[in-house]
Amino acid sequence: MKIIDRYILNEIKLPVIFGVSLFTFIFLIDIIVAMMENIIVKGISIIDVLRILSFYLPPILSQTIPMGMFLGIMLTFSKFTRTSEATAMSAVGMSLKDIVKPIFFSACVVTLFIFFLQESIIPRSVAKLQYLTAKIAYENPVFQLKEKTFIDEVDEYNLYIDRLEGKEKKAKGILIFQKAKDENFPTVVVGEEAYWKDSAMVLKNSKFYNFNEKGKEVLRGKFDEKRIPLTAYFSEIEVKVNDVEAKGITTLIKEMKDKNSDEKREYSIEINKKLAVPLSTMMLSLLGVFLSIGHHRSGKGANFALSLIVIFSYITCLNIGIVMASKGVIPVVLGVWSPNIILFLITLIIYKKKAEVI
């Protein structure tokens, strides 16, 4: 690799990292606000919050990396223009093709990395996220113990909570139905207080009632405290990712065969999207060079604003195309790939104009 190529690649590193970080933060704002509420109000540990955010990152990065590449390259080559480095490159005999060669190479590498994220990392991250959020929901009373709510998702029990009291959100007025496969009527437990701790439900000052097959009471009793462990339940959980956006292309193709026409359309849209968005990285990267390099002296603000306009225009066109394709107004391929086609044409036109000057 030439020294100038290494120099260009080295110069784009920090701006690209800045761009990816900026757009990732924008995408994460709503999630971060919700996580702050969980920390302050609901008592979720910071470690669990950080784990949740780490599982959200791969799906978001698959969308923000192309945007960050474009913004970072725009900032870098606008700097080259302001400092006359672009003019120096042209003066030593570098053509526009020579200048963009390392950019195109890095864009290809990044595109392959996004495909790797989609096929390998994102499905695992989504599965772990679903498992972790479900586990927190069972371990933390705030998520499951809700007033005037009948809860039927707790292993072998159905619960009804009358009210929650205190900062610890202890449940008062508990009604529990313990399910049994070989009995017509469940065991009924009426308790004064309950709370969840360390993957276990703890009941205090409660009474229980057993019934025969005809519904007649045959046994009653009471206990001061009863602990029901739920660890075994979590060890048997199998998380299945049903969201098509969280599945890899190969998985979508396999599952698509057994779907009806409407479901196939949804799968087809997602498959095309998972191909189109990563491939847009190459066009956005080249377009970033062509829009910012030259002999003009535009400031950072203008280039930054231009990059945001291009990025959000691409996102808007992509979303409109997906909506129209999902409703059957236009073919799936046209709806998903139109923004990429437009990007390609704009990039080609600007390249021809710039090549005449540089």
What confidence score (pLDDT) does residue 199 get?
Answer: 60
Higher pLDDT, 103 or 38: 103
- Mean pLDDT of the region 13-37: 86
Going by pLDDT thresholds of 50, 70 and 90, the confidence category of residue 184 is confident
Higher pLDDT, 151 or 222: 222
Higher pLDDT, 3 or 145: 3
Going by pLDDT thresholds of 50, 70 and 90, the confidence category of residue 41 is low
Q: What residues have CB less than 8 Å from 316, skipping those under 6 apart?
A: none
Tokens of 125: 């991250």
Higher pLDDT, 230 or 13: 13
- Mean pLDDT of the region 60-86: 89
What confidence score (pLDDT) does residue 239 get?
Answer: 44
Given a cut of 60, whether residue 242 has pLDDT beyond it is no
Higher pLDDT, 93 or 141: 93
**β-strand partners of 87:** none
What confidence score (pLDDT) does residue 233 get?
Answer: 43
Given a cut of 70, whether residue 5 has pLDDT beyond it is yes
Concatenating the DSSP letter of every residue in 228-262 gives: EE-HHHHHT-------GGGS-HHHHHHHHTTS-HH
Q: Find the Cα–Cα–Cα–Cα dihedral 186, 190, 195, 199, rounded to 10°.
A: -20
- So where are the chain's domains? 3-138+242-357, 156-229
Q: What is the pLDDT of residues 76-132, one digit of tens each?
A: 988 888 888 877 887 787 888 888 999 999 999 999 999 999 998 988 888 888 777
Name the residue with tokens 């990007």.
Answer: 343
What confidence score (pLDDT) does residue 236 get?
Answer: 43
Q: Is 68 helix (H, G, I), strand (E, B) or coil?
A: helix
At CA 269, angle to CA 266 and CA 274, rounded to 5? 125
Given a cut of 70, whether residue 244 has pLDDT beyond it is yes
Full-model pTM: 0.71
